Structure 1
Amino acid sequence: MKTEYENIKRIVASVGGYFGTSYTVEVEFDRGKITWEARGDDFEPGLILQLDIESMNTFREALSKSRILSWKNEYIDPNTLDGTQWSLDIEFDDICIEKSGSNDYPKEWKRFCKVIHKLTGKPFE
């Protein structure tokens, strides 16, 4: 039996703010394709990676440990106007779940960012 994490087809995660650099990563599980890009103050060329099935399964396991499917839909710190916004779209065959935040994060956020960094070798913060 497949777990919910094994049924994820694609994720798109973004983080950044008005100042500084913003990062976006897209993971297409069926194709084993990862796309990472940065926008902002410092130019850094984008990255496209092709991973094997074993690497994709390791990534799925890391996502499971980050508990992304258990996150609330929205995290907002109403006392901070500027700062960092983030979003995470999780696509299945028949549904897309959207999670987002503004200056507030799920407790597993740092773990999730480390998982993305380990996968791409690039910053995601």
Structure 2
Amino acid sequence: MAINYKQCPNCNSRNVVNIIYGLPTHEAMKDAEAGKFMLGGCCVEMDSPDYHCNSCGNEWTKNEAIDRAYEKINRVIATVGGYFGPSYHVEIDLEAEEVSWSKSEGEGIWQPPITKPITDAEAKTFMFNLQWADLLNWKKEYPNPGVMDGTHWQVELVREGRNIKKHGDNNYPEGWDMFCTTIKELTGREFS
């Protein structure tokens, strides 16, 4: 998982605790005083924060942490295919607002990439769809040890901080079809 809910989006501190709502027991009050969590009161509203930073006092929701994690993505590099069939490679550069797509018919010989600009609206829709596909919560590997040939895929996220790589062999995360559809919509070309 690449979403760190307990890292402050304001100061990047990890000195963060959960905020607990409801009428606290005596034991819960002691735990709150010990700094194990923070009491948020009896009423929970739609936008009540889930986390509190002890370093700067910032508070945020789980959804804000998710949004921030996806905002850190600068580029998406994805490849899918197999030795005997076509393979596809795409690079989406969100900072330069352009996408590059190329295809190989096999044996590692790639066609020259086709590059096109993307609009701000297209980039936002793409990022929304990545969240919908739950890309950051995909496991690192999706192996299929019983199959030697077939379809292999890899996705690399170039982000602020560290890059994230995810890959698989004939095995896919739940959001894979949504991810492929999103690539096709953005590039106007095949990707699967």
TM range (shorter): over 0.9
- Out of 79, 83, 86, the position equivalent to 1:21 is 86
- Out of 121, 134, 137, the position equivalent to 1:70 is 137
**Structure 1 counterpart of 2:165, one-letter code:** E
Matched with 1:117 is 184
**Separation in structure 1 between the aligned mates of residue 135 and residue 126 of structure 2, nearest angstrom:** 12
Tell me the matched-pair count.
125
Q: Which has the higher contact order (CA 8 A, sep 6+)?
A: 1
- Structure 1 ranges of 4+ moved more than 6 A: none
Greater strand content: 1
Structure 2's unaligned 5+ residue stretches are: 1-63
1:10 aligns to 2:94 (yes or no): no
Matched with 2:100 is 35
Q: Which whole-Å deviations, capped at 9, do the CAs of 1:68-105 have from their partners, x for residues lacking one? A: 10000000111111001000000112210000000100
Secondary structure of the residue that 2:81 maps to in structure 1? strand
**Structure 2 counterpart of 1:29, one-letter code:** L
Structure 1's unaligned 5+ residue stretches are: none
Question: How far apart are residue 44 of structure 1 and its match?
Answer: 6.3
Over the residues paired in the alignment, what is the CA RMSD in angstroms? 1.7
Matched with 2:166 is 99
Question: How far apart are residue 46 of structure 1 and its match?
Answer: 3.3
TM-score (ref. length: structure 2) = 0.61
Percent identity among equivalent residues? 35
